Amino acid sequence: MEKAQDEPSLSAGLDPVEGEFVRFFVQVATTLNLPRSVGEIFGFLFAADEPRPFDEVVARLGISKGSASHGLKFLTKIGAISLVYVPRDRRTFYEAETSMRKLFSSALNESVRPHLEGNARLVEGLEERIATAAPELGDKAAHYRNRTASLRNWNDKALVLLPLLDKLFSLPAPHFPFKLFGSDPEP
Amino acid sequence: MEKAQDEPSLSAGLDPVEGEFVRFFVQVATTLNLPRSVGEIFGFLFAADEPRPFDEVVARLGISKGSASHGLKFLTKIGAISLVYVPRDRRTFYEAETSMRKLFSSALNESVRPHLEGNARLVEGLEERIATAAPELGDKAAHYRNRTASLRNWNDKALVLLPLLDKLFSLPAPHFPFKLFGSDPEP
DNA sequence: CAATTGGTTCAAAAGTAATTGAACCAAAAC
DNA sequence: GTTTTGGTTCAATTACTTTTGAACCAATTG
For β-strands B52-53 and B93-96, DSSP reports them as antiparallel
Between residues A173 and B84, which one has the greater pLDDT?
A: B84
**pLDDT score, position A132:** 94
CB contact at 8 A, B72 and B54 = yes
Across residues B94-113, what is the average pLDDT?
A: 93
Model confidence pLDDT, tens digit, residues B150-166: 999 999 999 999 998 88
C-alpha distance across the termini of chain B, in Å? 60
Q: Which residues pair with A96 in a beta bridge?
A: A81
Across residues B43-54, what is the average pLDDT?
A: 97
Between residues B97 and A167, which one has the greater pLDDT?
A: B97
Please tell me whether residue A52 adopts helix, strand or coil conformation: strand
**pLDDT score, position A8:** 42
Whether residues B151 and A24 touch (CB distance < 8 A) is answered with: yes
**pLDDT score, position B10:** 31
Task: Give percent of chain B with pLDDT exceeding 90.
Answer: 78
Which nucleotide has its C1' atom closest to residue B64's CA? D20
Give chain B residues 125-154 with Cβ within 7 A of strand D: none
Q: Which residues pair with A94 in a beta bridge?
A: A52, A83
Which residues of chain A make contact with B111, given a CB cutoff of 8 A?
none
Across residues A105-120, what is the average pLDDT?
A: 93
Please tell me whether residue A108 adopts helix, strand or coil conformation: helix
Q: How confident is the model at residue A173 (pLDDT cuts 50, 70, 90)?
A: low
**pLDDT score, position B20:** 96
**Cβ B38 to strand D below 7 Å:** yes
Q: How confident is the model at residue A175 (pLDDT cuts 50, 70, 90)?
A: low
Across residues A165-169, what is the average pLDDT?
A: 87
- For chain A, the C-alpha Rg in angstroms (whole number) is 24
**pLDDT score, position B71:** 98
Residues 156-185 of B with CB under 8 A from A: 156-157, 160-161, 164-165, 167-169, 174, 176-178, 180-181
Mutate to test the interface with B, among A14, A15, A18, A20 (most CBs of B within 10 A): A20
Distance separating alpha carbons of residues A171 and A102, to the nearest angstrom: 12
Please tell me whether residue A8 adopts helix, strand or coil conformation: coil
Number of Cα atoms under 13 Å in the Cβ half of residue A35: 11
What mean pLDDT is reported for chain B?
A: 87
Q: Which residue on chain B is closest to A129 by alpha carbon?
A: B17
B83 pLDDT more than 50: yes
**What is each CA distance from A178 to A30, B165, B178, B180, in whole angstroms?**
32, 11, 15, 10
**pLDDT score, position A179:** 52
Q: How confident is the model at residue B13 (pLDDT cuts 50, 70, 90)?
A: confident
Distance separating alpha carbons of residues B60 and B74, to the nearest angstrom: 19
Q: How confident is the model at residue B171 (pLDDT cuts 50, 70, 90)?
A: confident
Find the helix or strand (DSSP H, E) in which A82 lies.
Answer: strand A81-84
Across residues B14-41, what is the average pLDDT?
A: 96
Chain A contact for B124 (CB, 8 A cutoff): no
Please tell me whether residue A95 adopts helix, strand or coil conformation: strand
Across residues B131-159, what is the average pLDDT?
A: 94
Give residues with Cβ within 8 angstroms of B161, minimum separation 6. Answer: A165, A168, A169, A176
Q: Which residues pair with A84 in a beta bridge?
A: A93
DSSP per position, B107-126: HIIIIIHHHHHHHHHHHHHH
